[in-house]
Amino acid sequence: MAEYLAGSQEAFVEQMNNKAKELGMNDTTFKNCHGIDEDGHVTSAYDISLMSRELLSKHPDITKYTTIWMDSLRDGKSGLVNTNKLIRNYSGATGLKTGSTSLALYNLSASATRDGLSLIAVIMRAPTSDTRFKYAKKILDYGFSNYSYKELAKKDTIVQEINIQKGIENKVNAVFENDYGKLIKKGDSNNIEQNVEINSNITAPIKKGDVVGKVTFVDGSNNISSVNLVADRDISKITLWNMTTHLYNIWFNLSR
């Protein structure tokens, strides 16, 4: 696969290291593309979590495969069993990857989702296979017991109707540009408020997706984050021709 994608294993390893730097995996150096022990081939639990998050967020369909417990090949002549035991016995498990070598011992990147909250637990150098699953469960249990996910913005949800100047229509809906949520520690105050700011003097033409304002989420005196507000449809600039057409369409629909 490395040779097919990059032309050679060496070129592929270079691509791996470049991607690691891009993701902020500062404790990682790849020396080969197969993962077998080699001097200088190193990583950290934190870096594995970054790589796992990238995979799950950018390629969510991966869980269609990582959650399969058993499958067969060659018309049932060969069978496969998932090496990640959490898939079978941990509620909400979504993957993700096991691994072991004589030097690295037993390792695991475990992912799970419950009530909209997705967590990753990374275990490295466990002395036995069962130990990695035992401690991954403990870490995930801690996360689900102590934290929850609060959805603050959902893409395309209407926040408010705003005025448009010089348009064939004088109103457009301002909607959230994307989803946004926050990890909340259970028991802590989570009285998060939202401040809506609409751009001044919004003038047609407006294209669907144009930024028309933003919502800033505030927890006490601290700004948490902001999400752009965008127009939910096109609004053409008013002209004699399109106004005549617009009025005709309104009249025609009312008279039917």
Identity of residue 24: G
Q: Which tens digit of pLDDT belongs to each residue from 27-79?
A: 999 999 999 999 999 999 999 999 999 999 999 999 999 999 999 888 888 89
Per-residue pLDDT at 239: 78
Which structure tokens are listed for 73? Answer: 């090949």
Question: What is the phi-psi region of residue 116: left when phi exceeds 0, alpha when psi lies from -120 to 50, beta otherwise?
Answer: left
Q: Which tens digit of pLDDT belongs to each residue from 80-90?
A: 999 999 999 99
Which structure tokens are listed for 41? Answer: 């081939």
Radius of gyration of the chain (CA): 26
Per-residue pLDDT at 224: 82
Which structure tokens are listed for 137? Answer: 């469960």
Domains 59-148 and 154-255 share a fold: no
Distance CA 107, CA 101 (A): 9
Average pLDDT over residues 193-201: 92
Per-residue pLDDT at 111: 98
Identity of residue 241: W
State pTM to two decimals: 0.78
Q: Which residues contact 177 (CB under 8 A, 6 or more apart)?
A: 155, 209, 211, 227, 228, 229, 230
Where exactly are the structural domains of the chain?
A: 1-43, 59-148, 154-255
Q: Which of the listed CATH numbers 2.60.120.460, 2.60.410.10, 1.10.3720.10, 3.40.50.720 matches domain 154-255?
A: 2.60.410.10
Identity of residue 201: N
| pLDDT band at residue 250 under the 50/70/90 scheme | low
Three-class DSSP category at 200: coil
The mean predicted confidence, pLDDT, of the chain is 92
Looking at the domain 59-148, which fold is it? Beta-lactamase (3.40.710)
| Of the listed ranges 25-29, 178-182, 219-223, the one predicted with least confidence | 219-223
| Of the listed ranges 108-117, 123-132, 149-158, 241-250, the one predicted with least confidence | 241-250
